[in-house]
């Protein structure tokens, strides 16, 4: 696993890394804005867009091919700070906890933070080993109009320490479990809406 990851992902001197997982079905402007804003607020060197082969919580019937989704992410995510990859397919990982573990075990000298929208954070208790995810990696949450941040805070504050956004750049260095909100431009656009209109 470690050899596969090292072959696919080159981090060089970068030490502060964001992991941005999703179906990207398809990727769109909101994904770019989240990654860009997270990079700035969290003072990250790189953000890795993990285009998932399949989200276990989503319907496979509505899923574009992995190749199409990867291509849409590469098209929208143009930045020297972004690495866009389908490495989870090559690793054979289906769950975020497994991907996170492999990254941390492979790149021991790097610091990682998990980036997610409030829509996904609101259902984190449905994720495999979700408590372990909170223990293993700091989490940065971006607002979605459909899921207010106060709703997400009620879920996470019982299990994780909230870090004020003013100290968000320290998040990646702090002892887990910890999370922060990275408030930015709210956007109602969604992949499902794009699919309906295409």
Q: Are the CB atoms for 101 and 6 separated by under 8 Å?
A: no
Q: Strands 111-117, 161-162: parallel, antiparallel or unpaired by DSSP?
A: unpaired
Give the single-character DSSP code of 160: S
Along the 198 residues of the chain, how does pLDDT read in single tens digits? 889 999 999 999 999 999 999 999 999 998 999 999 999 999 999 999 999 998 776 777 779 999 999 999 999 999 999 999 999 999 999 899 999 999 999 999 999 999 999 999 999 999 999 999 999 999 999 998 888 889 899 999 999 999 999 999 999 999 999 999 998 765 555 544 543 445
| CATH number of the domain to which 49 belongs | 3.40.50.620
- pTM score > 0.85 for this model? yes
- Domain limits for position 53: 2-8+15-197
Domain count, the chain: 1
Q: Strand 16-22 to strand 178-181: parallel, antiparallel, or no bridges (unpaired)?
A: unpaired
């Amino acid at each position: 696993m470690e050899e596969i990851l090292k072959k696919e992902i080159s981090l060089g001197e970068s030490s502060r890394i964001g992991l941005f997982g999703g179906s990207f079905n398809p990727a769109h402007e909101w994904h770019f804005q989240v990654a860009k804003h997270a990079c700035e607020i969290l003072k990250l060197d790189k953000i890795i867009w993990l285009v998932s082969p399949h989200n276990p919580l989503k319907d496979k019937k509505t899923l574009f091919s992995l190749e199409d989704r990867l291509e849409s992410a590469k098209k929208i995510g143009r930045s020297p700070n972004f690495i866009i990859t389908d490495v989870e397919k090559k690793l054979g990982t289906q769950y975020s906890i497994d991907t996170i573990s492999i990254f941390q075990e492979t790149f021991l000298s790097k610091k990682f933070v998990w980036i997610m929208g409030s829509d996904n954070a609101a259902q984190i208790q449905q994720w495999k080993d979700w408590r372990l995810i909170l223990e293993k990696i700091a989490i940065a949450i971006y607002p979605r109009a459909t899921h207010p941040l106060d709703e997400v805070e009620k879920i996470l504050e019982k299990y994780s320490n909230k870090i004020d956004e003013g100290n968000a750049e320290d998040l990646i260095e702090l002892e887990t479990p910890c999370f922060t909100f990275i408030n930015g431009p709210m956007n109602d656009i969604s992949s499902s809406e794009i699919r309906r209109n295409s």
